[in-house]
Amino acid sequence: MGPLPADEVDARAAGIRLLVLDVDGVLTDGGIVMDDAGNEFKRFHVRDGHGIKLAQRHGIAVGLITGRRSGVVAERAAELGIAHVYQGAEDKRAALADLLARLDLAPAAMAMVGDDVVDLPLLVQAGLAVTVADGHPAVRERAHWVTAHGGGAGAVREVCDRVLRAQGHEAALLQDYLEPG
């Protein structure tokens, strides 16, 4: 596979109806912070969250598929209105198959953003396979597109913006913020 020319990435982005995200290393920088009591903390980028909300507003479903379990992830997903959350997914392929069946979508209508080799089984199925700038080299070699931003640093917003722009929504997005209201 490997990174594709920009026009091919945009052509694939135009048909996306579902955005599937890994969590650690994509929505976060991959760090796991724990205190002495075992409480887990994660840092999410606010622009990634806003990009997810914009994508949903324009008819793109969003799902999270992660191998770990975390109350923080459940809380962030609820805050963003992400209804499709698969935590503790030891078999990410099965989680994806369930999600695609629930939404009655083919893999070609999906963009997948992953960062590590455990995400490869999903990335190779995706209509648009994306990895973050600091993704594992084997993933970067097989992705259709590598974002300019790293995980937890605005990469998801970059993906949302590109998909929405490819689908002709950029002017409407900006108008919401530039028009006096």
Flag whether 135 is in a domain. Answer: yes
Mean pLDDT score, 86-113: 97
Flag whether 125 is in a domain. Answer: yes
Q: Report pLDDT digits (tens) over 38-86.
A: 898 999 999 999 999 999 999 999 999 999 999 999 999 999 999 999 9
- What is the bridge-based pairing of β-strands 33-34 and 128-131? unpaired
CATH number at residue 58: 3.40.50.1000
Q: How far apart are CA 100 and CA 62, in angstroms?
A: 11
Listed in sequence order, the residues at least 6 apart from 167 whose beta carbon sits closer than 8 Å to its beta carbon are 13, 14, 16, 58
Flag whether 1 is in a domain. Answer: no
Flag whether 111 is in a domain. Answer: yes
Domain total of the chain: 1
What pLDDT is attached to residue 174?
80
Q: Report pLDDT digits (tens) over 134-156.
A: 999 999 999 999 999 999 999 99
H-run or E-run covering 85: strand 84-86
Flag whether 154 is in a domain. Answer: yes
Flag whether 39 is in a domain. Answer: yes
Instruction: State the pTM of this model.
Output: 0.95
Q: Name the residue range of residue 124's domain.
A: 6-178
